[in-house]
Amino acid sequence: MQIGNLQVHNFLALGPMAGVTDWAFRTICAQLGAGVTVTEMVSSRALVYKDKKSAALLRKNEGSLCGAQIFGNDPDIMAEGARLALEISGCDFLDINMGCPMPKIANNGDGCGLMRTPELAEQIVKAVTKAVDVPVTVKCRLGWDKGSINVLDFAKRMEDSGAALLTVHGRTRSMLYSGVADWDMIAKVKQELSVPVIANGDIVDGQSAVRCRNWTKADGFMIGRATFGNPWVFDEIKAYFEGREFTPPTTEERIASAIGLVSAIVDLKGEDRGIREARGRAAHFIRGMRGSAEIRAALNSSTSLQEFKSILENYI
């Protein structure tokens, strides 16, 4: 599959998620079968104003095609933010977030808020595609709420404005992450567009990925919350498509990945901040294990990387 001038051989994509898809987690997912990864969303305005914390989110991972995702609602600032994001990261493509449903983003006219102003969204895509020389992609939802589902018109506008690919989450902004993703609407978008369409929403394993492919005829799949503590989901889906048996990770492998993730976060952010941020992340990896509640409690009181490692290693 082509995204602009990029050849994509594996379009199982890790969905960008704030506070989750940092460089450390993206690297693990790429190692375990994600063919495409996208950074956490970064404010275009923050990049233009030289915010160092925002720039740090754009570190490109190896092992997959990697896109830099930005958000904002001013065409000129988005264009300059896109140029800076690529200059900082060296990423393979630029993704525009038009799907974030969180109130502090969407209510400000950013993220999914742009689906209420499609003419402005068109201006943004045109400005960004003119400013950069890599493919520009767009991630959106079905619309603001069930009374204003406009994804068919919106997606066509994005394609006509220069977007090389659309990722569609099959929920409205008002649904957040509740209810059931509407794959019928994703199928309709796929029928309308000539650029690739990626399906997002309720793809959690091999069976659901195959059902989504048959249902939507989408060109690829983006997996988000199903990766929490389970980066092996990419290999599981690949195995299902390839007709081979998938071997679930052992307890030792789950613990090793948790330790690897926490160590990388500490390297990135320092021990004090890294440990605080990593507690919840590591808890996902031990979910469902015998005695996981006790382990979580111990991790939540740990204050050093060595203590963190010891708790997990002693569990094995």
Query: pLDDT for 149-167, tens place per residue?
Result: 999 999 999 999 999 999 9
pLDDT in tens, 126-136: 999 999 999 99
**What pLDDT digit, counting tens, does each position of 6-35 carry?**
999 999 999 999 999 999 999 999 999 999
Q: For the chain, give the mean pLDDT.
A: 95
pTM of the shown model: 0.94
55, 88 Cβ separation under 8 angstroms = yes
Per-residue pLDDT averaged across 31-45, rounded?
97
Identify the pLDDT of residue 277.
Answer: 87
* Helix (H) and strand (E) counts in the chain: 14, 11
Q: Is the pLDDT of residue 210 over 90?
A: yes
- Residue-wise pLDDT for 232-263, tens only, equals 999 999 999 999 999 999 999 999 999 999 99
33 Rama class: left (phi>0) / alpha (psi -120 to 50) / beta: left
Provide the annotated active-site residues.
Answer: 100
What are the residues whose beta carbons fall under 8 Å from the beta carbon of 65, sequence distance 6 or more? Answer: 6, 8, 35, 36, 37, 92, 93
What confidence tens digit (pLDDT) does each residue in 45-91 have?
999 999 999 999 999 999 999 999 999 999 999 999 999 999 999 99
For residue 265, the model assigns a pLDDT of 92
Cα–Cα distance, 163 to 4 (Å, whole number): 9
Residue type, 137: T
Which residues face 299 on adjacent strands?
A: none
Q: What does the buried/exposed string (b/e) look like for 208-232 if buried means 16 or more CB atoms within 10 Å of the residue's CB? A: bbeebbeebebbbbbbbebbbbbbb
- Beta partners for 218? none
Q: Would you state the pLDDT for residue 121?
A: 98
Beta bridge partners of 13: 36, 222
Q: Which band of pLDDT confidence, cut at 50, 70 and 90, is reported for residue 288?
A: confident
Q: What pLDDT score does 290 carry?
A: 87
The whole-number pLDDT of residue 314 equals 87
CB atoms within 10 A of CB 288: 8
pLDDT attached to residue 181: 97
- Tallying the residues shown for the chain, one arrives at 316
- At residue 13, the 3 state secondary structure works out as strand
Confidence grade of residue 315 (pLDDT, cut at 50, 70, 90): confident
